[in-house]
């Protein structure tokens, strides 16, 4: 497990193939569950399988979160922790809690994993003892909420070199995702001994905001999800552990369209990014380095992001692939995750095929684009980068 850049050869990636949790979305709950439409589940799965195949056929090992979770649940301590987590929900009441506890105790690991991801609705359980809560709920109410955004594995954990940061998700609909990743990284044999850099109890940081610009340089978007306090905490941890010498805090508009830094900027080469043209000239960065001792940080006032990044990365210039799009096309394609590419290697990235103009411009600039369908996957507002958590990349040649 090792990641020191956004672009060096990708070897292992963590994905989540969407399942029954998507079938829980309705027009009434999709807003609070952070989807802009009601995806066609079977087609979303096909699209996701194509995405996984595009990676596999290029030599990338694909790990599936559900499988890791089921294997993790074979460990009694992990099972106890994750079960206790959902039972602690204060909406339940004692009668229903006991009924759900009995139900969960009867499930084998793979079904339990499915319940933890897809949730549990009222009609699926019948508590043996009396429960006012159970009687008063409607058949389709959730007893355990579904996690449709687990698909975006980028956000619930992020690797910085050989350490993993289990993040602290800001939106209520996503908080429980990190109980799953936290358990997987601590209890699954594959990750035994991995050092935890961050945990969900800390200030909000989401993985979509974290870019490993170079082996010792991190950029952290601060906006709708990651708070200044979260960026500061992660910066302290990364600097103290010697995993970076500079962390850039990058303010982004606190809007749905730009919920993470990776919705406006992703790397496509060791010294190049594709960036939403409407922000390319205005993005700023505060730069954070270590002060005299561990407790002190040196925070420098904001400067243009591209300048601050190039300086920290020790390169003359961070190239922006100029998509040259008119503001309307740029806005449409940004909304559909045109800037949210996943690099498999330098100058080779995966992108949604629908962003025709952005992809054409990337190719024009010498970037090979592996196009995938995303009409259904994209209804959750996330592209190839959001849907992937790199676990192993080759070290970036120095």
Among 146, 251, 338, 380, binds ligand ARG (CB under 6 A): 380
Number of shown-chain residues binding ligand ARG (CB under 6 A)? 16
| DSSP secondary structure letters along 184-251 | HHHH-GGGTTPEEEE-TTSS-B-GGGEEEEETTEEEEEESSSS-HHHHHHHHHHHHHTTS-SEEEEEE
Distance, in Å, from the CA atom of 2 to the CA atom of 16, rounded to the nearest integer, reads: 20
- By CB under 6 A, name the one of 144, 259, 265, 275 that touches ligand ARG: 259
Contact 375, 43 (CB under 8 A): yes
Cβ proximity to ligand ARG: between 71 and 337 the closer is 337
Name the minimum Å distance from CB 165 to ligand ARG. 14
Q: Does 382 bind ligand ARG (CB under 6 A)?
A: yes
Contact 278, 327 (CB under 8 A): yes
Tokens of 186: 């601590």
Q: How far apart are CA 371 and CA 374, in angstroms?
A: 9
Q: Strands 163-166, 246-251: parallel, antiparallel or unpaired by DSSP?
A: unpaired
- Interface mask toward ligand ARG for 318-357; x: CB under 6 A: ----------------------------------------
Find the residue with minimal CB distance to ligand ARG: 208
Q: Locate tokens 């549990």: which residue?
A: 120
Show contacts with ligand ARG in window 193-212 (CB under 6 A): 208
Contact between 6 and ligand ARG by CB under 6 A: the answer reads no
Cβ 92 to ligand ARG, closest distance in Å?
Answer: 25
- Residue 358 near ligand ARG by CB under 6 A: no
Point out which span in 12-20, 84-92, 259-267, 294-302 binds ligand ARG (CB under 6 A).
259-267
If one counts every other C-beta atom within 10 angstroms of the C-beta of residue 372, the result is 23
Q: Residue 1's closest CA among 63, 65, 93, 48?
A: 63
Stretch that binds ligand ARG, among 157-165, 258-266, 321-329, 348-356 (CB under 6 A): 258-266
When asked if residue 391 is in the footprint of ligand ARG (CB under 6 A), the reply is no
Place of tokens 């060791």: 270
Query: 329 near 278, Cβ under 8 Å?
Result: no
Q: Is 152 a binder of ligand ARG (CB under 6 A)?
A: yes
Does 9 participate in binding ligand ARG (rule CB under 6 A)?
no
Active site residue 349: no
- β-sheet with 246-251: strand ranges across: 210-214, 217-222, 246-251, 284-290, 297-304
79, 97, 154, 237: which one binds ligand ARG (CB under 6 A)? 154
Contact between 381 and ligand ARG per CB under 6 A = yes
DSSP per position, 278-329: HHHTT-EEEEEEE-SSTT-EEEEEEEEHHHHHHHHHT-S--EEE-----HHH
Question: Closest distance between ligand ARG and the C-beta of residue 240, in Å?
Answer: 26
Binding of ligand ARG at residue 262 (CB under 6 A)?
Answer: yes
Instruction: Please report whether residue 114 would count as binding ligand ARG according to CB under 6 A.
Output: no
Is 218 or 386 the residue whose CB approaches ligand ARG more closely? Answer: 386
Stretch near ligand ARG under the rule CB under 6 A, chosen from 71-79, 111-119, 152-160, 267-275: 152-160
- Tokens for 193, please give them: 């001994």
**Is residue 150 at the binding interface for ligand ARG, with CB under 6 A as the rule?**
no
In angstroms, give the least distance from the CB of 138 to ligand ARG. Answer: 25
CA distance 286 to 263: 19
Active-site residue set: 386
- Positions touching ligand ARG (CB under 6 A) are 34, 149, 152, 154-155, 171, 174, 208, 259-260, 262-263, 380-382, 386
């Amino acid at each position: 497990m090792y990641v020191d850049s956004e672009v060096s050869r990708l070897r292992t990636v963590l994905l989540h193939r969407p399942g029954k949790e998507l079938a829980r979305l309705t027009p009434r709950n999709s807003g609070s569950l952070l989807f802009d439409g009601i995806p066609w589940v079977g087609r979303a799965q096909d699209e996701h399988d194509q995405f996984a195949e595009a990676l596999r056929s290029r030599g990338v090992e694909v790990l599936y979160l559900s499988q890791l979770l089921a294997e993790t649940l074979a460990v009694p301590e992990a099972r106890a922790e994750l079960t206790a987590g959902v039972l602690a929900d204060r909406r339940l009441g004692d009668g229903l809690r006991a009924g759900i506890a009995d139900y969960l105790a009867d499930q084998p690991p793979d079904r339990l994993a499915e319940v933890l991801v897809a949730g549990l609705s009222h009609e699926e359980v019948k508590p043996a003892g009396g429960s006012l809560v159970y009687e008063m709920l409607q058949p389709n109410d959730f007893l355990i909420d579904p996690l449709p955004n687990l698909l975006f594995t980028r956000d619930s954990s992020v690797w910085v070199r050989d350490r993993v940061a289990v993040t602290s998700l800001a939106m209520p609909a996503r908080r429980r995702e990190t109980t799953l990743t936290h358990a997987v990284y601590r209890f699954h044999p594959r990750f035994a001994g991995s050092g935890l850099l961050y945990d969900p109890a800390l200030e909000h940081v989401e993985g979509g905001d974290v870019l490993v610009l170079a082996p010792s340089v991190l950029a952290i978007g601060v906006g709708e999800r990651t708070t200044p306090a979260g960026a500061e905490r992660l910066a302290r941890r990364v600097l103290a552990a010697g995993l970076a010498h500079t962390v850039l805090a990058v303010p982004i508009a606190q809007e749905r369209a730009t919920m993470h830094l990776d919705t406006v900027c992703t790397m496509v080469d060791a010294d190049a990014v594709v960036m939403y043209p409407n922000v390319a000239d205005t993005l700023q960065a505060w730069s954070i380095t270590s002060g005299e001792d561990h407790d002190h940080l040196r925070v420098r006032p904001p400067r243009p992001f591209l300048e601050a990044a190039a300086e920290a990365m020790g390169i003359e210039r961070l190239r922006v692939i100029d998509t040259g799009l008119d503001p309307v096309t740029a806005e449409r394609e940004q909304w559909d995750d045109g800037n949210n590419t996943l690099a498999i290697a330098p100058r080779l990235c995966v992108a949604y095929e629908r962003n025709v103009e952005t992809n054409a411009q990337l190719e024009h600039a010498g970037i090979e684009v592996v196009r995938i369908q995303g009409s259904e996957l994209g209804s959750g507002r996330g592209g190839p980068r959001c849907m992937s958590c790199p676990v192993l990349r080759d070290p970036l040649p120095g």
